[in-house]
Structure 1
Amino acid sequence: MNRWFLLLSLAVIATVAGIYAYLGGFTTAEVELLTTKEPIFLAGRYFQGRADSKDFGPLFRQAHQLQESGQLRGDLGNVYYNDPEAAGDTVKAFVGLIVADTTSQTLPTGYRYSTFSGGQRVVRARVQASYMVAPDKLYSGIKHFAEQEKIKLGKVYVERFPAQGPVEVLALVK
Structure 2
Amino acid sequence: MTRWLFLLILVLTVGAAIVYGYLGGFTQPTVAIITTKAPVFLAGKAFRGSVRDEAFGPMFRQVKEAKDNGQLRGDLANIYYNNPEKARDTVQAFVGLVVADTVSQQLPAGYRYRTFAAGQRVIQARTTASYLVAPNKLYPAIADAAQQQKLQLQQVYLERFPEQGESEVLAAVK
Report the TM-score range of the alignment, normalised by the length of the smaller protein: over 0.9
**In structure 2, what is the Cα distance between the partners aligned to 1:99 and 1:17?**
35
Report how far residue 2 of structure 1 moved.
4.2
**Paired residues for 1:50-89 under 5 Å:** 50-89=50-89
Q: What residue in structure 1 maps to residue 166 of structure 2? A: 166
Range with bigger deviation, 80-89 or 160-169:
80-89
TM-score (norm 1): 0.96
**Which amino acid letter does the alignment assign opposite residue 76 of structure 1?**
L
TM-score (norm 2): 0.96
Report how far residue 13 of structure 1 moved.
1.4
**In structure 2, what is the Cα distance between the partners aligned to 1:146 and 1:11?**
39
SS at match of 1:93: strand
What runs of 5+ residues in structure 1 fail to find an aligned partner? none
CA RMSD of aligned residues (A): 1.1
Report how far residue 5 of structure 1 moved.
3.6
**In structure 2, what is the Cα distance between the partners aligned to 1:115 and 1:4?**
56
**In structure 1, what is the Cα distance between the partners aligned to 2:139 and 2:18?**
23
**In structure 2, what is the Cα distance between the partners aligned to 1:9 and 1:60?**
34
**Identical counterparts, % of pairs:** 58
Q: What residue in structure 2 maps to residue 150 of structure 1? A: 150
1:42 aligned onto 2:42? yes
**In structure 2, what is the Cα distance between the partners aligned to 1:164 and 1:3?**
44
**In structure 2, what is the Cα distance between the partners aligned to 1:15 and 1:92?**
36
Aligned length: 174
**What's the CA shift string for 1:39-86, capped at 9, x where partnerless?**
000000111111110111111110010111121110110100111122
Q: What residue in structure 2 maps to residue 17 of structure 1? A: 17
**In structure 2, what is the Cα distance between the partners aligned to 1:19 and 1:106?**
39
Q: What residue in structure 2 maps to residue 138 of structure 1? A: 138
